[in-house]
Structures are given as C-alpha cells and as structure tokens.
C-alpha cells in the first residue's frame, strides 16, 4: 500500500494544449500580448477572451457612431437643400455681381472674399498684386470646393496677398441657358474685376470643367484675361494610350449624345447633376462603395468630421440645362471639337484655341483617373504642329505634373494647396515674362509649408518640345463613335423624343429627381424620413460618453483590417475585369 502511494506521488500527468491553427488569422491571434507572456509560454484562453470582448465592445460602439454619421450626412443634405444650397466656402464673402440679372441671364454670380475667420483682409492685401478669380467646376456638384477649408486655393491666394474673387453658380439653370450665356457672364466678371483693380487683368483659376470654360473664354476674350491656370481640365477628349480611359469607352458604348438628351427630356428639359456624380463614382467602385465607408467605420472617432465636411459638397447635386449638357457632350466628350477647332457656340462665335494669347499653366497629375495628363496636354500638339509654330504664335504654355495625387486632390488637397498652388501664385509674374514656347514647371526641394518668402523651395521653368509631349494612339475609333452619335441623336429626335416629351412634366421630373439612387441612398438614413434612425442621436451620445476603443494591436481588430483589404481587392478585381470587358466590346464595335 505504501509503495502504491509512493508510486502515485512520483507520477506526473502532462496536459498538452492543443495547437490551434487558422490560416486567415494573424500570427499573433492566439498568442499572449508581449507584456503578459514569457518566452516559452503560450496565450491563456482568458487573454483571447479578453481581446474578443474588447473588440466586440469597440466594434459595436463604432457601428453606432458610423450610422449616426450617416444620419448627420442625410440631415445635412436636407438642410442644405432647404437653405437653397449656398456655396460651401469657409470664408466670408459678399455678392458683387449676379448674372441672373444680366441681359443674357445665367445662373452664375461673382463673390468677393472679405474675411478669413475674424481677420479683415484689407490690411493684408498687396496693392501691387493682381486679383485672383477662382472658378469652381460645374459638373454635378455645387461650388465651394476651391475654398471649403483654409488650406485651399482661396486660402493660399489670400495668404499671398491677392484680392480674391470666387465664381459660383446656383442649383438650377436659367430657362434655355446656353454655354454662350455662361461665357458672356464670365467675360463680364473679368471686365468688372479688371476695372476695380486699375485695369489689372485677374489671374484666372479654373478647376476641372471650369478650366476648359476658361480656355473658351481666353480664346473668345483675347486681351481681357491674365494668366489662366487650368487644374485637371480636359481639352483633348480623344487622347489616350493603349489602355483607354473608361469615360471614353462609356461614351461609345452608350451610343453618344442621344442618351443625355433623353435624360434631360425626361426631367422636363433639365439634366440632373446627380448622374454626373454617379458616373464619377463608377470609375472607382472599390472606393465609392467600400473604402471610404470602411475608413469611416475604422476611424470614426477622428474621421467623422472630415467625412461630413467633404460629403456636404460631394452630395450637393446641381442641375444643367439640356442645351448646356448636350453641347458639352456633343462638342467635347464625343465630338472633340474644341481640340479640332470646330466648336461653334452660336451663329456669331466660333472657338479656335489658336486665338488664346494669355499665358496658360496646365496642372495635371499622373494619378488623375478622370483627366489624365494626355487629356490635359495633347491638344497642344493638335493646335501647334511643332514648337516653331507655338513660338511663332507668341504663346507661352507651362505645364506642371504631380506624380500621384488624384483628380480631386489637384484642387482639394491641403498639401497641394500649400506647395503647388502657392508656387504657381508666387511665380505668375515669371510665367508672364517667359519667352514664347512650351515649358515644364519644376519645383525643387519642396517643404509644403506656406511662408511669406520663397526661400523654402525653388521653381524653375525648363523648355520642352511640342513634338515630345503626350503622344496619343490613333483616334479612328472615336471618329466612328462621333458618326454613330450623330446618327443616333437624329433618330432619337425624330422618332422617340415626341413621346418622351409628351409624358414629361414638372411632377414626373421631381419624382425622378427625388428617387435618384445618389439621393435616396443618402437620405434614407435621416430620422426625418426613417423612424428607425430616431434613437441614434441619444445612442451615439451615450457611446461618446462611455467610449472604449480597442487597442490597435488587438488581434481581432487586425482580422477586421485584413478582411476589409480582401473585400476591397475583390471589388477592384471585379472592376478591372468589367473595364477589360467594356474595352473588348468597344473595340469589337468600333475597331
């Protein structure tokens, strides 16, 4: 008996913990945190459970704050529409000209920036510097993106001592408003601003669509304008490389301008700008439907305010008249008439880019998916056969290329505003003094930090050859698209348009506008329309008062990030396949 007891005492039972493997989990998932483990010790199940509970609380709280942010976005949309959709400028201003009262009325107005915060500008302006007139794009969104925060085009221009004017537009066009009416209004604005400042022509700043409008103005308004800066502005709509731009492909696959005309007819002669914004989002669906929302969810504590600020502009949809949108598609996107010198505004006005005499600065980016550098620059080769022809015309064209920023970043990014736009404004006099020719603007040793002097960086202008700039693939297929578009448009106007117009009226137009997916998918989160959202404000405030964020090294949070990356990659892969399929169909149809 004693021996048996003794033997039992010597016996030790080893319990080996099962090895758990999971290919998709991070390596640290079932390991203890560094401060809780020794070199030869594996994680306790209680540590894993603690991490899981911490993550679940954090994810639940982030979900409440996420949906509350979407609720605020919806409410902001409704309030903005109720207020008449004023421009979203972060600067005080006064309206000095209203084009709705002109002889040729247009839904445009000219604002004068009067204050930045609590600081009056009169004592900060340099009387020797020319005024700057900034024009925002009218491509579905409302005005204000050039100055909706302090580090912006408006802010940098004020910082440099320029008097600043801002061109806005109202949500709805004037009856039968044309592109010629808009140009007449812009010409009047330029004349008045110049007269108010001792006949100094303003430096014109055009973002995206506004850039090519300023090119039209410069061609039709020689002598009235100073240097024109075109930021991410397309003038060569057929230019491209072997991989075609998705916008070009969609224009061909839709059959041309007839679809735009039909959509305008269905809305009683008004084209809803929400469709343009919808097209922009389709260019990058991974970002539009997943990445920007996951970024908000993952960083909701610090990202909510920035998200709401940008979305207030992104979801403010402005309309165009049928005359304007069809002229844009027919003459520019499908017809490419501005580059070819074939654009006729009306019976009295034809546009030829050779008539532009004021210096041009073209700011483009390799990362711009909407206006790649070829579409911003190729027109120079089409208008001027060689460098000798450009110099003979007495023209000075400067281009600046950012290596990576996206389309909106060209005129929205604070870093770009502090560096490139500051450099542009500080060197406008140097640009005007250049000899005729083509130049690349190069910024050396940038800091990106705005300062009153230029000793932080150096700008130089290197001469380039027109023959070497932005070679494009043959454009025969786009000639076919143009021909098909013209035929389809004629057939639509003859056979289908009378029936569409017979059923269109203000009521049906309002129903189509309200039910547009870009509006409905946002506004559904407002408690004013969705009773399920009523408890959210109180729930969100309770979460903020008791917020318990998970640690960044929480293994379950890392799993969440990895899953989000896989979802984004899947959407991008599907999008790439869809683009390749569209390209194949386009080439099969148009060669």
Average pLDDT over residues 326-335: 92
CB contact burial 279-317 (16+ within 10 A = b; e otherwise): ebeebbebbbebbbebebbeebeebbeebbebbbbbbbb
Q: CATH code at 185?
A: 3.40.50.1820
| pLDDT of res. 451 | 54
- Same domain? 361 vs 397: yes
Distance CA 342, CA 429 (A): 33
Q: What is the pLDDT of residues 509-529, one digit of tens each?
A: 999 999 999 999 999 999 999
Contacts of 161 (CB under 8 A, 6+ apart): 124, 125, 126, 129
Confidence of residue 19 (pLDDT cuts 50, 70, 90): very low
Distance CA 462, CA 401 (A): 13
The answer to whether 396 and 358 have CB atoms below 8 angstroms apart is no
| pLDDT of res. 240 | 73
- Same domain? 98 vs 220: yes
Sign of CA dihedral 357, 358, 359, 364: negative
Average pLDDT over residues 365-378: 91
| pLDDT of res. 36 | 46
Report the domain count for the chain.
2
Sign of CA dihedral 77, 82, 86, 89: negative
Distance CA 32, CA 1 (A): 44
- Planar angle of CA 360, 183, 197, nearest 5 degrees: 65
Distance CA 129, CA 197 (A): 10
| pLDDT of res. 239 | 84
Q: What is the pLDDT of residues 133-153, one digit of tens each?
A: 999 999 999 999 999 888 899
Q: Which two tokens stand for residue 457?
A: 């960086």
Domain end point (choices 454, 473, 492): 473
- Planar angle of CA 219, 223, 226, nearest 5 degrees: 90
- Same domain? 208 vs 151: yes
Q: Which domain holds residue 67?
A: 47-83+274-316+515-591
- Same domain? 420 vs 344: yes
Q: What is the pLDDT of residues 238-258, one digit of tens each?
A: 887 666 778 888 888 999 999
| pLDDT of res. 124 | 75
Q: What is the 8-class DSSP label of residue 319? A: -
Q: What is the pLDDT of residues 474-489, one digit of tens each?
A: 678 899 999 999 999 9
Quick one: which of 153, 173, 179 has its CA closest to 164? Answer: 153
| pLDDT of res. 72 | 98
- Same domain? 144 vs 104: yes
| pLDDT of res. 221 | 75
Distance CA 21, CA 246 (A): 44
- Same domain? 463 vs 526: no
- Same domain? 107 vs 200: yes
| SS3 of residue 509 by DSSP | helix
At 149, phi and psi to the nearest 5? -150, 165
Query: Does position 450 have pLDDT exceeding 70, yes or no?
Result: no
Name the more confident of 320 and 46.
Answer: 320
Q: What is the mean pLDDT of the chain?
A: 88
Would residue 552 count as lying in a domain? yes
Dihedral angle computed from the Cα positions of residues 154, 157, 163 and 167, in that order, rounded to the nearest 10 degrees: -30
- Same domain? 311 vs 389: no
Query: Does position 18 have pLDDT exceeding 50, yes or no?
Result: no
β-pair partners for 397: 360, 438
Would residue 140 count as lying in a domain? yes
Quick one: which of 483, 557, 588 has its CA closest to 62? Answer: 557
- Same domain? 51 vs 198: no
Length of the chain in residues, anyone? 591
């Amino acid at each position: 008996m004693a021996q048996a007891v003794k033997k039992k005492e010597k016996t030790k039972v080893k319990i080996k913990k099962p090895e758990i493997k999971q290919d998709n989990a991070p390596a640290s998932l079932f390991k203890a945190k560094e401060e809780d483990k020794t070199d030869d010790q594996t994680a306790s199940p209680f540590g894993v459970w603690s991490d899981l509970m911490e993550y679940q609380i954090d994810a639940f709280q982030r979900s409440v704050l996420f949906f509350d942010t979407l609720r605020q976005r919806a409410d902001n949309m409704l309030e903005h529409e109720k207020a008449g959709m004023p421009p979203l400028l972060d600067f005080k201003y006064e309206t000095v000209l209203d084009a709705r009262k002109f002889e040729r009325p247009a839904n445009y107005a000219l604002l004068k920036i009067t204050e930045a915060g609590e600081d009056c500008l009169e004592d900060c302006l340099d009387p020797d510097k020319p005024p700057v007139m900034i024009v925002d794009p009218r491509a579905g969104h409302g005005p204000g993106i050039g100055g909706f925060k302090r580090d912006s085009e408006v802010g940098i221009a004020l910082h440099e001592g320029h008097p600043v004017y801002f061109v806005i537009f109202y949500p709805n066009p004037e009856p039968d408003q044309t592109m010629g009416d808009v140009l007449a209004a812009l010409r009047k604005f330029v004349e008045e601003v110049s007269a108010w400042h001792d006949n100094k022509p303003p430096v014109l700043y055009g973002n995206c669509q506004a850039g090519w409008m300023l090119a039209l103005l410069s061609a039709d308004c020689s002598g009235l304008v100073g240097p024109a800066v075109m930021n991410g502005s397309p003038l060569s709509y057929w230019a491209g490389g072997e991989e075609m731009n998705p916008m070009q492909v969609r224009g061909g696959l839709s059959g041309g301008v007839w679809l735009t005309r039909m959509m305008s007819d269905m809305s009683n002669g008004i084209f809803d700008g929400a469709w343009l914004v919808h097209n922009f989002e389709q260019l990058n669906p991974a970002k539009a439907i997943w990445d920007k929302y996951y970024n908000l969810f993952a960083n909701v504590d610090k990202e909510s305010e920035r998200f709401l600020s940008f979305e207030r502009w992104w979801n403010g949809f402005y309309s165009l008249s049928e005359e304007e949108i069809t002229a844009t598609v027919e003459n520019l996107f499908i017809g490419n008439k501005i580059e070819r010198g074939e654009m006729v505004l009306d019976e009295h006005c034809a546009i030829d880019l050779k008539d532009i005499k004021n210096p041009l600065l073209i700011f483009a980016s390799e990362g711009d998916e909407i206006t790649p550098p070829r579409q911003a620059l190729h027109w120079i080769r089409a208008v001027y056969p060689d460098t000798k022809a450009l110099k003979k015309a007495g023209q000075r064209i400067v281009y600046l290329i950012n290596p990576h920023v996206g389309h909106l970043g060209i005129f929205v990014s604070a870093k770009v505003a502090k560096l490139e736009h500051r450099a542009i404004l500080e060197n406008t006099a140097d640009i005007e003094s250049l000899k005729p020719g083509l130049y690349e603007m190069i910024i050396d040793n940038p800091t990106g930090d705005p300062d009153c002097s230029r000793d932080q960086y150096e700008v130089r202008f290197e001469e380039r050859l027109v023959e070497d700039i932005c070679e494009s693939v043959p454009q025969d297929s786009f000639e076919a698209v143009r021909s098909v578009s013209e035929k389809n448009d004629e057939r639509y106007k003859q056979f289908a348009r009378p029936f569409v117009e017979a059923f269109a009226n203000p009521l049906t137009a309002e129903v189509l506008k309200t039910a547009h997916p870009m509006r409905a998918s946002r506004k559904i989160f407002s408690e004013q329309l969705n009773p399920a959202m009523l408890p959210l404000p109180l729930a969100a405030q309770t979460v903020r008062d008791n917020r318990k964020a998970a640690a960044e090294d929480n293994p379950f949070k890392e799993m969440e990030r990895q899953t989000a990356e896989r979802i984004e990659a899947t959407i991008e892969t599907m999008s790439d396949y869809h683009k390749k399929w569209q390209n194949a169909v386009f080439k099969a149809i148009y060669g």
